[in-house]
Chains A and B, each alone.
Chain A
Amino acid sequence: MQRFINDPDLVVEDTVKGFVKAHSDIVRLAENPRVVVAREAPFAGKVGVVTGGGSGHEPAFIGYTGRNMLDAVAVGELFSSPTAKSFHDAIREANGGKGVVVLYGNYAGDNMNVKMATKLAAKDGIEVATVVANDDVCSAPIEEREKRRGVAGEIFMWKIGGAKAATGASLEEVRAAAQKAIDNCRSIGVGLGPCTLPAVGHPNFKIEPGTMEVGIGHHGEPGVRVETLKTAEEVARDMVKIVLDDHDLPEGTEVAVLVSGLGATPLNELYILNDTIESEISARGLKIRKTWIGNYFTSLEMVGATLTVMALDDDLKTLLDVETRCTIIL
């Protein structure tokens, strides 16, 4: 496929440079060029909110840096965890003296690098709490929820954690709010076409024409089943069923819905999916408070979409309504 790149080995550097130039009213680059920081951060007396992850998921993770959202983001290579040093530097940039919460996905590299960064931050006297996202229903059975990976539900976790921190809450309160957000999230991905790391040069997995991967991960981790491609209506119905069957929600529960493209799926197809998603969720007696549709969490040029549903209570509703100022309006 044809790409707008310079050097395949410098894709991340060049991405971050262009991003910071575009959004200098909202973000700045730390001394470590692999750390993006909210322009005015750190905020004295506010819990710092940090995430980090591999690149290639834009606008995640850097796009969610900003006021009432993330204070600092550690940037990794394409699909590869940031270094412990970058996580550590992000923690330091976000530290306003009230502790820092690191909200990240459940990937082997991130788990190790955050663990090491937390130890390094402790030496600086910074108290760090962590929340690990595990909203991807198909990545492990519910009994092994701790093994599930974090996907687009992370956006809700950051939104809620960031909003809670903005209220002046304590580190433990912010951690608990972010934890509740992700506990209340369930996500599913469906892949129709693979993606290619530019430095590798060929797709890192195959999806045969006429088929789809149900339960695909954000790096092309194969789904739980390969099926014949069906109509958008049937796919959307399956997505809602997988997500909600995993989440025993009482009738009348209000939910937030996020439908994200994986990079190469046009927006109109996401709306086509949502036509059925909305009907199916409503048919189950749930009430949709707000829906976001767009390329919120992508996987390079993967073709496909994810659905995330977060169940809301009064606290989460309040926090969800807090205004944020990042490059992605939420």
Chain B
Amino acid sequence: MQTFDNASCGAIVLSMAERIVENRAYLSEIDGKIGDGDHGVNMAKGFGMAAERLKGKNAPLAESLDTLGTVLMTEIGGSMGPLYGVMFTEFAETIQGVEKIDAAAYSKMLHAGLSGIQSIGSAKVGDKTLLDTFVPAVEAFDKATAEGKSFGEALEVLVTAAEAGRDSTIDLVAKIGRASRLGERSLGVLDAGATSCAIILKELSEGARTRLV
């Protein structure tokens, strides 16, 4: 059975932070079309701060996710601070003490993050939010493992589903958050949160997949 190692995989969070910082301008540009254009700025600030604290520490994945979640929750406000903050701290809590993470533990972690988000936000799938990336990605992962695919294959399926979910937001009317005030005028553009969520899930899952033993 394929697993990856909690203790040695904290670097996944560092590369996730790198991707977010790289995409600072892109995420803000998308956000600017239907929001106020600061998504990339705030995300890069939070992920950058967390990376600074983690650099050179070789912290385990659980601890790294906890640091990231705590920074987002306590130092980055807006909507994304609490939403991603809760998601990462829930991820961390679920895998805390799990030495070898297998597909079942990974799924459990994703579900805990998702419930965390749903406990503070009120969005549903189809509302043009990060859930449009997250929910189908988790569902695809679970379906793949249920069908007997390996952990590695299921992670690939997850990434594809996350990106398809992200792209689905182009054709959605925003139902929640600042963009919802636009009604039909929010059609035709990606949701910034769905886009950053796809980056996060891809980095996490690719990072895990390339470290499977």
Contact check, B182 vs A113: say whether CB atoms are below 8 A apart.
no
Q: Which stretch, A36-44, A80-88, A313-321, touches the partner chain B?
A: A80-88
B contact residues around A19 at 8 Å (CB): none
B contact residues around A220 at 8 Å (CB): 36
Report the minimal beta-carbon distance from B49 to chain A, rounded to whole angstroms.
Answer: 11
Contact check, A112 vs B120: say whether CB atoms are below 8 A apart.
yes
- Residues of A bordering B, CB below 8 Å: 9, 54, 76-86, 107-109, 112-113, 115-116, 139, 149, 197, 199-200, 202, 204-205, 217, 219-222
Report the minimal beta-carbon distance from A97 to chain B, rounded to whole angstroms.
Answer: 26
Tally of A-B residue pairs with Cβ under 8 A? Answer: 93
B contact residues around A200 at 8 Å (CB): 28, 32, 37-38, 41
- Shortest beta-carbon contacts, A-B, top 7: A80-B78, A109-B79, A204-B37, A221-B181, A83-B77, A85-B74, A81-B77
B contact residues around A76 at 8 Å (CB): 77-78
Contact check, B78 vs A109: say whether CB atoms are below 8 A apart.
yes
Q: Tell me the dominant secondary structure on chain A's binding face.
A: loop
Nearest CB in chain B to that of A140: its residue: B181
Report the minimal beta-carbon distance from B28 to chain A, rounded to whole angstroms.
Answer: 6
B54 proximal to A (CB < 8 A): no
Contact check, A81 vs B79: say whether CB atoms are below 8 A apart.
yes
Cβ contact of B83, chosen from A79, A83, A112, cutoff 8 A: A112
B69 proximal to A (CB < 8 A): no
Given known A-B contacts A112-B120, A217-B181, A79 and B77 have beta carbons under 8 A apart: no
B contact residues around A112 at 8 Å (CB): 79, 82-83, 120-121
CA A80 to CA B83, docked complex, whole Å:
14
Given known A-B contacts A115-B120, A116-B120, A219 and B79 have beta carbons under 8 A apart: no
Report the minimal beta-carbon distance from B46 to chain A, rounded to whole angstroms.
Answer: 10
Given known A-B contacts A112-B121, A197-B37, A204-B36, A149 and B78 have beta carbons under 8 A apart: no
B contact residues around A197 at 8 Å (CB): 36-38, 41
Contact check, B42 vs A80: say whether CB atoms are below 8 A apart.
yes
Contact check, A113 vs B77: say whether CB atoms are below 8 A apart.
yes
Contact check, B77 vs A109: say whether CB atoms are below 8 A apart.
yes
Report the minimal beta-carbon distance from B2 to chain A, rounded to whole angstroms.
Answer: 36
20 A–B contacts, CB within 8 A, in A order: A54-B77, A77-B38, A80-B78, A84-B74, A109-B78, A109-B81, A112-B82, A113-B81, A116-B82, A116-B120, A139-B181, A197-B36, A197-B37, A199-B41, A202-B37, A204-B36, A217-B178, A220-B36, A221-B178, A221-B182
